[in-house]
Amino acid sequence: MQHSKGFNLEEEYKKYKNVLKGAKEGEVVTRFPPEPSGYLHIGHAKAALINYHYSQIYKGKMIFRIDDTNVEKEKDEYVNSIIEDLKTLGVKWHGDITHTSDYFDYLIEKAEELIKEGKAYCDPTPVDQMRDERLKMVENAYRSTTPEENLKIFRAMCQGPVDGVEEVKNADDYCLRAKIDMKSPNGSLRDPVLFRVNVKPHHRTGTKYRCYPTYDFCCPLVDSKEGVTHAMRSNEYSDRIPQYNWVLQACKVRPVTIFEFSRLNLQYTLLSKRKLQEFVDKKVVEGWDDPRFPTVKGIIRKGLTVEALTEFMLAQGPSKNTNLMEWDKIWSINKSIIDPLSGRFSALSSKNLSTVEVTNVPAGHVEPVETPLHPKEDLGKKVIFQSSKLLIDYEDAAALEKDQIVTFMKWGNFKILEVVKPEAGPVAVKAEFLPDNKDFKKTVKLNWIADVDTVKLILVEYDHLLREKKLLEEKEMPFEKQLNEVTKYVTDAIGETALKDVKLHQYIQLERRGYYKVDKIHEIDGNKVPELIYVPDGKTKPVIIKQNFLKSHTLLNF
């Protein structure tokens, strides 16, 4: 797929030149180190794209490392999904995929060095108490334990009982902490945890290890070990930079330059992995690829192109300003990319579908007419049928008046002869084709379909899960009250014959409705029934289907 007209990657790259401190062309090494405990979302996508494109700007390379230190939450399913998503995003990495678990022995070795130098100690303090002590800047007695005793405890943590005998009593209750500064105004320097015991099998190394490093300990060390020159991270973690540098200096390894970029904040967007998991568990959504989710799979399924996402990210430049951004900008870019690819088709809501009898066309007459799929692009042609019996939307039919001149798109002007509007149900219209009337400037334009070989369609439109632009704290408003009650709108529709040929993931435009992406093709009663997802175009307007009626919906039951 092509980028939007006017987009020039080399010109965009110029914004980023001379931004990285100490960067040398051909020597820059970046890295993308996701934790395999969930699916990548749009925030992760920004991090991946930033790291990848900076490596390209400086003709360097990007390392792709799986940070597999969280035994409780990691799954091979997530690893495979992350790899798939990076390929979808067009992010290419140098060499083989690496894993933090490749370096567990090295990290244990570095931890022992810190212990021997009195820079780390073992502490059995319960988590809640430790959190409270850190908050109140209180040093506990374990800080003064000798290096020899700490080393003995740490090795017992890593080794576990031998033949059922504990070398150190209750060693599994300990964690290893850095001895930095409990009085520091920066909370991340108040003796952070470096290692914890976890006896659950690791998804990759099994039961070989039972004591695992924290992200804040392993990340700087593995960055240095793998030759990373610039560690790029969102500026929401600014307070952790001193801790990152402390680990490098205390362990006497090669320094790494940190480069911060602005965190991606989008209106009506929920990025909390825990809360998204709740939606999945309660079956409020279809899964992690649900179009209402900000996951890479979700937004791509909703119709966002990788090209639009890339253009949006690069357009922000190297700014560190964090703003709450609108989705409209992304969807507007996306529209400029998908419009040239989207053939034009007609579709009508099945609800109260109304009829038009064309009085000056012989009854039963059907005439095929070839017409371009796109008014400007060469996408080929389609065949539409002109006949004596047409179908139009109920709302259009109900608005017609006797003697009115209207335009049936891709056919011509018609004079309305009769409109029968019952109290309930479809409207019946009689009209006369006016072949010599070519004045289309002031006429109402109507979609129509010949009542010949029509195609059943399912049109789906998704609203935001959040009704608030920004997720508020629970004390400001309970989470449940910040959610839209109805977020999925479904319309049964029929389309023109040419829609039989649409393919999975194809972009189309339903005239007077908007852009759609073919999400599924069902087999119903031996016929193919495409399910189309509405693709926003960046315009501020109510949900298309919501304007008319609610056919079916999904409630958020919390």
Catalytic residues: 35, 263, 273
**Spatial CA neighbour of 62 closest among 29, 34, 89:** 29
Closest to 214 (Cα-Cα) out of 239, 244, 185: 244
22 torsion bin: left (phi>0), alpha (psi -120 to 50), beta (else): left
At 246, which helix (H) or strand (E)? helix 241-250
Buried b (16+ CB within 10 A) or exposed e, 255-284: ebebbbbbbbebebbbbeeeebeebeeeeb
Report DSSP state, residue 202.
B
Structure tokens at 99: 């894993």
H helix or E strand, kind and range, residue 249: helix 241-250
DSSP 420-470: E--SSS--EEEEEEETT----SSSEEE--EESSS-EEEEEEEE--SBSSSS
CA distance 152 to 302: 55
Contact criterion met (CB below 8 Å) for 49 and 313:
yes
Question: What's the rounded Cα separation, in Å, for the pair 106 and 224?
Answer: 12
- Tokens encoding 362: 């012989």
Task: Give the single-character DSSP code of 3.
Answer: P
Q: What is the DSSP string of 492-550?
A: EEEE-GGGGG--TT-EEEETTTEEEEEEEEEEETTEEEEEEEEE--S-----HHHHH--
Burial of 428 (0-12, 13-18, 19+ CB in 10 A): middle
CA 200 to chain centre: 31
Compute CA 45 distance to the chain's CA centroid, rounded to the nearest angstrom: 8
What are the phi and psi torsion angles at 226 (to 5°)?
A: -85, 0
DSSP annotation of 472 reads P
- Give dist(CA 492, CA 348) in Å, integer: 9
Angle 387-389-391 from CA coordinates, rounded to 5°: 110
447-464 b/e (C-beta count within 10 Å ≥ 16 → b): bbbbbbebbbbbbbbbbb
